[in-house]
Structure 1
Amino acid sequence: MAGYRDLLRTPGVGRIMAAQLTARFPNGMTSLALLLYIERETGSYGAAGLVLAATSIGQAIAGPVTSRWMGIWGMRKVLTLTLIVCATAITTIALVEMVLPAYMALGLIAGLSTPPVQPAVRTIYPKMVTGRQLTPLFSLDASLQEIIWILAPVVITVVATQVGTVPALLLIVVILLLGGAWFILSPEVGRVRIPRSRRSIGTVMTKPPIILATVVGFLLIGACAAVEAGVVATFGHDGLEAGLVLAVFAVGSLAGGLGFGHIPIGRWAMARRLGIVTVGLALTMVSLNVWWLGGTLVLAGLGVAPALAVLFAMTSASVKFSDTAEAFGWVGTGQLIGAAAGSAVAGFLIDGVGPTGAYLAATIFAATGLVVSVVFVRGFPDLRGRDASPMPDTAPVATIT
């Protein structure tokens, strides 16, 4: 913990981390709020699913595109534009009664304009701390983001059920604007300039570490999404147990990230951490008792944030600085698609065999990630004895002879 205290004493680190967590807080609220609102307006969960699918597609497309724009027009301009468009789209959904295709179109726009805060802040981090501090910083970031997934669903559910779904959506807009403004106005966002990449979009995906980070992120988040579906199916939407079990899963991840964040990252780091996740998830199928599920998910959670920290560090260390935002955008897109895939597969299995099917799906996703990490272990960079800073951009320098 002393190392984390030193990190947070570094000028600007605590502020930028708090700002980006606030700006990203709506990410843990929007899907649930849209689900409740659209279902109330249309009387159909299927219609709500279509709106959520359109939003997710927009987010997946936007990830690498808006991230790359930050190297062309600057972070503040892109973040401000996307923030305004996204807030306008969500406000319109909340206040204007429409037909389903219009809701889907606005959901797509909201997804496409989701501010690229995550790629931005992970591009800024290497410019704020020493190379030795970067890996622990990524671990701390991965751990603290669990706060979003612990608190955000609880807050939005209470507001939507006790006050109304329209106020819930408007609350998201308020947090989006305030948190986004705080992040955009942070001095570090104006101070760090991403060089314009000289490579065409998608070129970063030819690098094995970026491909592995995207694939493993897809599988890891797919496993987490399947767990969420399984817990809800086990205890019901209204069961207090569901919220508590998902909270301890996130707490386990938080504890793992803080506890293992100082460990150097070698080629086998991802395999070891996914091994913990896989074992924990496999044990969930033994019993659906609330205490058993809570204990096994704490075990599985111990590997989640540390595995994400490896993803962030290997992504940063494998590309030039001008490509970091786009690389994180692709990795984020992989995670979004993984969340959708995990939820969908778990849903089909829940309908077919019951809640245990969701935990089976989660185990298969995690185990596949473990296999990928073992088979392609040479594709993971060995960061022991070196830092996770991106490679510097170089260019020819004109000389007079």
Structure 2
Amino acid sequence: MSAYSNLLATPGVGRIITAQLVARFPFGMLSLAFLLHVEQVTGSYGKAGLVLAATSIGQAVAGPLTSRWMGVWGIRPVLILTTTVCTIAGTSIALVHANLGVYVILAIICGLSTPPVQPAVRTIYPKMVNSKQLTPLFSLDASAQEIIWVLGPVITTFIATQIGTQWGILFAMTLLVGGGIWFIVLPEVGRVRIPRSKRKFGVVLRRPPVMLATVVGFLLIGGVAAVEAGVVATFGHDGIEAGLILAIFSIGSLVGGLSSGGIPIGPWALGRRMAVVFVGTALAMFFLNFWGLAITLLIAGMGIAPALAVLFAIVSSSVKFSDTAEAYGWVGTGQLIGSALGSAAAGFLIDHNGSQGAFWVAGAFLLLGTIVPLLGKRWHPDLRGREVGPMPDTEPIRIPS
């Protein structure tokens, strides 16, 4: 734990981790808040799943684009624009009683305007700490973000069941504005200037480690999204059990992430950590009761933050600094497409096969998520004893004759 205490003693690190967590906290609430609200309005988990899918598709399309914009216009202008539009669209979903088509359009706008806080902060990190501290910082970040998934579902479920489903969305929008402002005004955000990339849009995705991280992130988050839908369908939205189970799921991830921060990242690291998530989820489909899901999803959760930390590290070590934000944008896009497909497939099978269908979807995603990094081991950088930071941007220097 000394590595973490040293990190937090570094000027600005604790502040920026906390601010970005608050800025991203609404997105630990919105999936469940949209699911509960739209299901209540339409009476269908399948339709609610389509709204979640629309949000995720919008986020997936915007992720690499808005991340790249930060290298053109600067971090702050992009964050101000996207936060404003996203708040308006999300608030409209809560307040406008409409048909499915309108909800889908608003959800797409909300997704397209998702503030790129995650690519921004992970681009800033290498400028705040040395290369030896970067792997523990990624682990701390991946673990700390589980606070979002511990408290987010509990808060959302409590507000939705005790006050009203629309209030869960409105509370998330309030945090989006407050957290966004806090993050935007931080001096570290204003101090870092992302260089304009000299490569064409999308070229960074051709780098095998970035593609590997994108595909595995797609499968991991797709499985997690299906688990979330399955838990809600198992317990319904009339009690707090679903929120508690999802909180336990995230506590497992928090514990796993903090425990793995000092472990060197070898070429088998991603496959091993994904296997933990798959095994726990596979067991969960046989124990669809409170304590059964609490234990099995606690096990599954212990692989999530460690796997995400590996994804962040292999991307950071494989691209130039000017391409880092876009690379993280593509990884985020993979995760969001996974969330969209996982939610939609889970919602469809819940309507036809009950809550167990969602766990079938989750198991399929996570099994593939375990196999892919094993097959793609040659694309997985061996970071044992290596610097994790991005490669510097260099160009030829003209020497006068």
1:29-68: CA deviation from partner (whole Å, max 9, x where unpaired): 2233334444555666565444433322211110000000
* Distance change >3 Å, CA 27–CA 382, structure 1 → 2: same
Aligned length: 401
Q: Within 2, Cα distance between the matches of 1:330 and 1:143?
A: 21
Q: Which moved more, 1:31-40 or 1:13-22?
A: 31-40
* Distance change >3 Å, CA 57–CA 275, structure 1 → 2: closer
Partner of 1:178: 178
Q: Within 1, Cα distance between the matches of 2:102 and 2:237?
A: 28
* Distance change >3 Å, CA 234–CA 47, structure 1 → 2: closer
How do 1:260-299 and structure 2 match up within 5 A? 260-299=260-299
Q: Say whether the 8 Å CA contact 2:154–2:244 is kept in structure 1.
A: no
Question: In the alignment, residue 331 of structure 1 is paired with which amino acid?
Answer: V
Q: Structure 2 length normalisation: TM-score? A: 0.93
Question: In the alignment, residue 246 of structure 2 is paired with which amino acid?
Answer: L
* Distance change >3 Å, CA 305–CA 46, structure 1 → 2: closer
1:361 aligns with 2:361: yes
Partner of 2:393: 393
Q: Which moved more, 1:358-367 or 1:205-214?
A: 358-367
Partner of 2:214: 214
Question: In the alignment, residue 272 of structure 1 is paired with which amino acid?
Answer: R
| Superposition deviation, residue 265 in structure 1 | 0.4
Partner of 2:8: 8
| Superposition deviation, residue 311 in structure 1 | 0.4
The DSSP-based 3-state class of the residue aligned with 1:183 is helix
| Superposition deviation, residue 17 in structure 1 | 0.3
1:72-110: CA deviation from partner (whole Å, max 9, x where unpaired): 111011111111121222334444555654443332222
Q: Within 1, Cα distance between the matches of 2:290 and 2:101?
A: 40
* Distance change >3 Å, CA 294–CA 43, structure 1 → 2: closer
The DSSP-based 3-state class of the residue aligned with 1:238 is coil
Partner of 2:378: 378
The DSSP-based 3-state class of the residue aligned with 1:385 is coil
Q: Within 2, Cα distance between the matches of 1:197 and 1:352?
A: 47
Q: Which moved more, 1:6-15 or 1:157-166?
A: 157-166
Q: Say whether the 8 Å CA contact 2:66–2:78 is kept in structure 1.
A: yes
Q: Within 1, Cα distance between the matches of 2:220 and 2:245?
A: 19
* Distance change >3 Å, CA 49–CA 274, structure 1 → 2: closer
Q: Within 2, Cα distance between the matches of 1:238 and 1:30?
A: 18
The DSSP-based 3-state class of the residue aligned with 1:195 is coil
The DSSP-based 3-state class of the residue aligned with 2:335 is helix
Q: Which moved more, 1:269-278 or 1:99-108?
A: 99-108
Runs of 4+ in 1 over 6 A off after TM superposition: none
Partner of 2:154: 154
Partner of 1:341: 341
* Distance change >3 Å, CA 105–CA 147, structure 1 → 2: same
Partner of 2:321: 321
Q: Which moved more, 1:98-107 or 1:239-248?
A: 98-107
| Superposition deviation, residue 197 in structure 1 | 0.3
Gapped regions of structure 2 (runs ≥ 5):
none
Question: In the alignment, residue 142 of structure 1 is paired with which amino acid?
Answer: A
The percent of aligned pairs where both chains have the same amino acid is 65
Q: Which moved more, 1:375-384 or 1:226-235?
A: 226-235
Gapped regions of structure 1 (runs ≥ 5):
none
Partner of 1:26: 26
Q: Say whether the 8 Å CA contact 2:52–2:340 is kept in structure 1.
A: no
Q: Within 2, Cα distance between the matches of 1:218 and 1:150?
A: 21
* Distance change >3 Å, CA 53–CA 395, structure 1 → 2: same
1:320-374: CA deviation from partner (whole Å, max 9, x where unpaired): 0001111101101111111122223333444454433333332222221111111
Q: Within 1, Cα distance between the matches of 2:19 and 2:289?
A: 38
How do 1:66-77 and structure 2 match up within 5 A? 66-77=66-77
* Distance change >3 Å, CA 345–CA 35, structure 1 → 2: closer
Q: Which moved more, 1:308-317 or 1:23-32?
A: 23-32
Partner of 1:140: 140
Q: Which moved more, 1:288-297 or 1:13-22?
A: 288-297
Root-mean-square deviation (Å): 2.1
| Superposition deviation, residue 319 in structure 1 | 0.6
Q: Say whether the 8 Å CA contact 2:274–2:369 is kept in structure 1.
A: yes
Q: Say whether the 8 Å CA contact 2:223–2:363 is kept in structure 1.
A: yes
Question: In the alignment, residue 365 of structure 2 is paired with which amino acid?
Answer: F
Partner of 1:243: 243
Q: Within 2, Cα distance between the matches of 1:230 and 1:43?
A: 16
The DSSP-based 3-state class of the residue aligned with 1:395 is coil
Partner of 2:106: 106
| Superposition deviation, residue 229 in structure 1 | 2.4
Partner of 2:309: 309
Q: Within 2, Cα distance between the matches of 1:166 and 1:241?
A: 20
| Superposition deviation, residue 380 in structure 1 | 0.3
* Distance change >3 Å, CA 166–CA 105, structure 1 → 2: same
Q: Within 2, Cα distance between the matches of 1:168 and 1:287?
A: 29
Q: Within 1, Cα distance between the matches of 2:347 and 2:95?
A: 31
Question: In the alignment, residue 254 of structure 2 is paired with which amino acid?
Answer: L
* Distance change >3 Å, CA 356–CA 323, structure 1 → 2: same
Question: In the alignment, residue 133 of structure 1 is paired with which amino acid?
Answer: Q
How do 1:85-96 and structure 2 match up within 5 A? 85-95=85-95
Q: Within 2, Cα distance between the matches of 1:295 and 1:42?
A: 33
* Distance change >3 Å, CA 313–CA 363, structure 1 → 2: same
The DSSP-based 3-state class of the residue aligned with 1:218 is helix
